[in-house]
Amino acid sequence: MMHVHPFLVGQILLLLALANGTPLIAKRVLGNNLARPLDGGLILADGQPLFGHSKTIRGIVLSMIVTALGAPFIGLAWPVGLLVSAGAMLGDLFSSFTKRRMKLPSGSMALGLDQGPESFLPAILCRWVLPVTLADILLVTVLFFAGELIASRALYTLKIRDHPY
């Protein structure tokens, strides 16, 4: 049987919440100020953007800063927060890239694709710096998936998210 580290899983989930929530909060607080699309508006041969207008340099940079600064408050070193945020942002960009190839509009939902890469990738990357097991990675991914679906509705109700998923 695989060993699970419940406290460590909780710490990683908190960092994921910071990493993924920061761009949403920044959008609500700052509006379009400093919101430059990461892809610069690049349209690929399929007629779709590389990532889309909602993936901004501001969101990625703030996510990495806030998550790195937040890590010590939950007992982890700041580089762990930076690593989790970088993994979450890369996973999110992968999802956006894939959704654009599927011709899904920016902000649309693709169940699993929206939650999987942005939790699975950072959990795997944590193996470089934390004693994370395969069971921990799977638990982080499953709990993030469920938690994001629940939190997403609450954030929509609070007018922090644009869509109720």
Read off the pLDDT of residues 61-94 as tens digits, 9 standing for 90 and up: 999 999 999 999 999 999 999 999 999 999 999 9
pLDDT-derived band at 60, boundaries 50, 70, 90: very high
Predicted pLDDT at 2: 73
- What integer is the mean pLDDT of 147-156? 79
Predicted pLDDT at 62: 97
Residue pLDDT, tens place only, 13-34: 999 999 999 998 998 899 888 8
- What integer is the mean pLDDT of 46-59? 93
What is the distance between the alpha carbons of residues 149 and 111, in angstroms, rounded to a whole number? 9
- What integer is the mean pLDDT of 41-60? 93
Predicted pLDDT at 165: 61
Of 139 and 106, more confident: 139
Residue pLDDT, tens place only, 109-148: 777 788 889 999 999 999 999 999 999 999 999 999 998 8
Predicted pLDDT at 150: 84
pTM of the model: 0.90
**Is pLDDT above 70 for 3?**
yes
How many CB atoms lie under 10 A from the CB of residue 59?
24
